[in-house]
């Protein structure tokens, strides 16, 4: 039986828990296609799956990773609209397709929603079988590693800013960690929407890159207090929207810099998920705190066009071989990456 390599987590723990395994090459079920993967994008989510999250059970063993780019290699029974050889990207959320949430374009709220590499086997393999709902044409303007780096983070940032916070032209948004995966997507999307963008980044090199992505003001979070800086740069007004994904280290300050009627939208807690919250501030200032996870596949298909139109661009740091998944995790956890890290298959 022909086999393939894949990256598997069998037990939670350190970088050595990422195992490169041989498995039989899967065959596509009815309604599925098999992809020959070319590139696999690494996200912070991959590192959480490896380390484990207190109070959350992952269905181990799991093939890791949510993002990927490849070529359609075989069609399962009944598949139409795709051909062998088509270059495609992976849409990282699986859902039932039959419930009210799915059918109103909110498939990320489906009770059966699973993120690839988190709730079900992911993309870090030489071959992957997926429902046709989970593949979309690769943007022609992007290389395979670039295309593998965009879906999860741009989908997340788009849903947060467009659907949840409803950021509008002329408003000011604070984006934390503007060179991180979701941060670099948020800076670009906010700019595209016509908002004024204040972003933070750690150190002069990251700050310069965030400026180049379109941020109007960049705060060096290693040198400067972002609360004081945002107040200074907005004439003490504060911002209408804060884009949160860092959590404990920034949350209290994020609430402080919001104007009356402001919206905080959060998709993550990379520095910890337990925060102090003053209800007085929330009601006196009429604040909205909005949670957000992933986004709809329809929105993702639409936003992929913006890469072909040159209005959004991938922020790729480096490409490593599949066998170096551990090094990719280390770069993310140490915050050493200046953009996305991708594995070449």
H-only helix segments in the chain:
44-51, 100-103, 144-147, 151-158, 181-192, 204-212, 226-233, 251-256, 279-284, 297-308, 325-333
Which CB atom, from 238 or from 295, has the smaller least distance to Zn ion? 295
Name the one range near Zn ion by CB under 5 A: 87-95, 275-283, 298-306, 320-328. Answer: 87-95
Verify binding: residue 95, Zn ion, rule CB under 5 A: yes
> Considering the complex, what minimum distance in angstroms separates the CB of residue 163 from Zn ion?
17
Contact pick of 15, 96, 289, 344 for Zn ion (by CB under 5 A): 96
Whether the bond between 70 and the residue before it is cis, its omega within 30 degrees of 0, is no
Within 8 A by CB and 6+ apart from 56, the residues are: none
User: Count of residues binding Zn ion (CB under 5 A)?
Assistant: 5
Verify binding: residue 133, Zn ion, rule CB under 5 A: no
Could you tell me the sign of the dihedral formed by the alpha carbons of 81, 87, 91, 94, in that order? positive
Pairing relation of β-strands 340-344 and 316-321? parallel
| Interface map 99-118 toward Zn ion (x if CB under 5 A) | x--x-------x--------
Which residue, 195, 191, 199, 193, is CA-closest to 233? 199
Which CB atom, from 25 or from 96, has the smaller least distance to Zn ion? 96
Nearest 5°: phi and psi at 4?
A: -140, 165
Residue list 60-79, contact with Zn ion (CB under 5 A): none
DSSP at 15: G
Which CB atom, from 116 or from 316, has the smaller least distance to Zn ion? 116
CA dist 245 → 156, 173, 175, 305, 310 (Å): 11, 14, 9, 25, 26
Verify binding: residue 294, Zn ion, rule CB under 5 A: no
Which CB atom, from 134 or from 188, has the smaller least distance to Zn ion? 134
> Considering the complex, what minimum distance in angstroms separates the CB of residue 330 from Zn ion?
36
- Contact yes or no for 114/94 (Cβ under 8 A): yes
> Considering the complex, what minimum distance in angstroms separates the CB of residue 103 from Zn ion?
8
| Interface map 21-60 toward Zn ion (x if CB under 5 A) | ----------------------------------------
Provide the token pair at 302. Answer: 């639409």
Which CB atom, from 35 or from 110, has the smaller least distance to Zn ion? 110
Name the one range near Zn ion by CB under 5 A: 23-31, 91-99, 131-139, 214-222. Answer: 91-99
DSSP at 248: G
Residue of closest CB approach to Zn ion = 110
Which CB atom, from 69 or from 102, has the smaller least distance to Zn ion? 102
Within 8 A by CB and 6+ apart from 287, the residues are: 255, 258, 261, 262, 263, 264, 281
Which CB atom, from 106 or from 270, has the smaller least distance to Zn ion? 106
> Considering the complex, what minimum distance in angstroms separates the CB of residue 298 from Zn ion?
13
Give me the residues that bind Zn ion (CB under 5 A), please.
95-96, 99, 102, 110
């Amino acid at each position: 039986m022909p086999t393939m390599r894949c990256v598997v987590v069998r037990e939670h723990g350190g970088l050595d828990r990422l195992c490169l395994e041989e498995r039989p090459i899967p065959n596509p079920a009815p309604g599925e296609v098999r992809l020959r993967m070319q590139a696999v994008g690494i996200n912070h989510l991959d590192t959480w799956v490896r380390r484990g999250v207190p109070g959350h059970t992952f269905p181990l063993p799991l093939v890791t990773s949510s993002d990927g780019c490849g070529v359609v290699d075989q069609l399962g029974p009944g598949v139409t609209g795709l051909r062998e050889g088509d270059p495609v990207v992976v849409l990282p959320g699986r859902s039932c397709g039959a419930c009210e949430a799915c059918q109103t374009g909110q498939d990320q709220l489906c009770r059966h929603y699973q993120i690839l590499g988190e709730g079900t086997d992911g993309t870090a393999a030489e071959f992957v079988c997926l429902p046709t709902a989970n593949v979309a044409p690769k943007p022609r303007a992007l290389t395979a590693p670039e295309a593998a780096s965009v879906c999860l983070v741009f989908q997340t940032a788009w849903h947060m800013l467009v659907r949840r916070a409803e950021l509008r032209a002329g408003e000011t948004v604070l984006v934390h960690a503007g060179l991180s995966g979701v941060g670099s997507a948020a800076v670009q999307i906010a700019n595209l929407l016509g908002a004024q963008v204040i972003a933070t980044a750690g150190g002069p090199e990251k700050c310069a890159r965030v400026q180049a992505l379109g941020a109007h003001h960049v705060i060096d979070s290693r040198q400067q207090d972002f609360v004081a800086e945002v107040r200074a740069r907005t004439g003490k007004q504060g911002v209408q929207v804060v884009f949160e994904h860092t959590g404990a280290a920034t949350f209290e300050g994020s609430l402080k810099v919001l104007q009356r009627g402001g919206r905080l939208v959060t998709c993550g807690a990379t520095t910890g998920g337990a925060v102090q919250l003053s209800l007085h501030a929330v009601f006196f200032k009429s604040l909205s705190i909005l949670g957000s996870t992933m986004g709809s596949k329809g929105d993702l298909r639409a936003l992929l066009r913006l890469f072909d139109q040159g209005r959004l661009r991938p922020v790729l740091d480096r490409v490593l071989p599949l066998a170096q998944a551990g090094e990719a995790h280390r770069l993310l956890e140490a915050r050493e990456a200046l953009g996305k890290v991708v594995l070449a298959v």
